[in-house]
Structure 1
């Protein structure tokens, strides 16, 4: 199973980098951790929304509408079984001033955030093997401060997934947090990853710039 980090595919060069993985690797299924910005893809792709998306499209996908999209499936505090793997996701990023609002009160670009409702709904999921999130938990990354989000920590505690895949930060980092292997993914133009559905082992591959 192909796994990809942030794509930022509204940029033509980034879009080409994204689609090149599909052409060259010919995956059957893909997981992606946000800032996708491309919603017509060659094979079924499950993703969480990031903070850079086309938010009218994301809102439509939240509501089960697929007009103008192809082969994309949004994980927004929902789960799907893919190649026998139960994959769940939390869409959006954290904004302290918006977290306690109902999602219905978010508008425009503020729809990029997750709310307490989204976290509570995600926490109620069961039997999760792999958890996708755009926002990192604490203890994974450092910029002289910890950019992680305690609400993601709470979800790892509640769900106990085998593997958590993180976007947003554009760097590869790994840690074990609350008994879960957590991997921050490099962006799609730098690396791609392959997930073994049986062992839930994740293998990283650097992009060959000569290809």
Structure 2
């Protein structure tokens, strides 16, 4: 791993699980080490009072009351600072169009209307979410918590969701970043570079907004 280049780079973070104090210290160590002005995060954040503007997707482990409030633009809480949710939406981040789909896949929930998802079932994306995301247009970087096929991560099941394949094929981003698996792995789908990110307490990444070059760094001890 290289030392970070302090040019105009974005911080990129995998799963944080920052409700755990040790993981939270690792998360903030990554923020300090990168010394960036803006960050992207791949879900399972679980702590939303952040030091710099952070564009994130919801994972399958979140405070879903906070996520619902962010989805509906009605958060007014001291517990939420600098956290912008991407849920079938895009943001212009340092001149890069970043899109995101929040949640993970559950076949039993996929065809249900989102308002019918209650409790922990709010962790999933549904068909309407994917169809909304397909309309995002030109996206440079796509953030996902559920992987498309093509990432060689180590799991005891086949990794890859057909609905996510369709989304990636439709949007054709230059770079697709995936959380959830707590493992660094790289692959391709068509012309899209796929990268599964290591968790934030192990590694952080920097992204050059001009070239979309992604560089991995070791998260320093908190």
TM-score class, shorter = over 0.9
Point out where structure 1 has 5 or more consecutive residues left out of the alignment. Answer: none
Higher relative contact order (CA 8 A, sep 6+): 2
Within 5 Å, give how 1:172-183 maps onto structure 2.
172-183=184-195
Aligned counterpart for 1:137 among listed residues 142, 145, 148 = 148
Query: Which one is further off, 139-148 or 40-49?
Result: 139-148
- Which residue number in structure 2 is paired with residue 113 of structure 1? 124
CA contact (8 A) 2:97 2:141 kept: yes
RMSD: 1.1
CA contact (8 A) 1:129 1:163 kept: yes
Deviation at 1:139, TM superposition (A): 2.1
Distance change (3 Å), C-alpha of 1:24 and 1:206: closer
Output the TM-score relative to the length of structure 2: 0.92
Local SS of the residue matching 2:181: coil
| Separation in 1, partners of 2:188, 2:33 | 32
- Which residue number in structure 2 is paired with residue 196 of structure 1? 208
2:67 paired with 1:58: yes
CA contact (8 A) 2:141 2:176 kept: yes
Within 5 Å, give how 1:28-43 maps onto structure 2.
28-43=37-52
Within 5 Å, give how 1:126-165 maps onto structure 2.
126-140=137-151, 141-143=153-155, 145-165=157-177
CA contact (8 A) 1:136 1:149 kept: yes
- Give the number of aligned pairs: 210
Deviation at 1:142, TM superposition (A): 4.7
CA contact (8 A) 1:193 1:203 kept: yes
- Which residue number in structure 2 is paired with residue 11 of structure 1? 20
Local SS of the residue matching 1:24: helix
Aligned counterpart for 1:91 among listed residues 102, 105, 117 = 102
User: Residue by residue, what CA displacement relative to the aligned partner does 1:67-112 show, whole Å, maximum 9, x if unpaired?
Assistant: 1211000000000000000000000000000000000100111000
| Separation in 2, partners of 1:3, 1:23 | 13
CA contact (8 A) 2:14 2:41 kept: yes
- Which residue number in structure 2 is paired with residue 169 of structure 1? 181
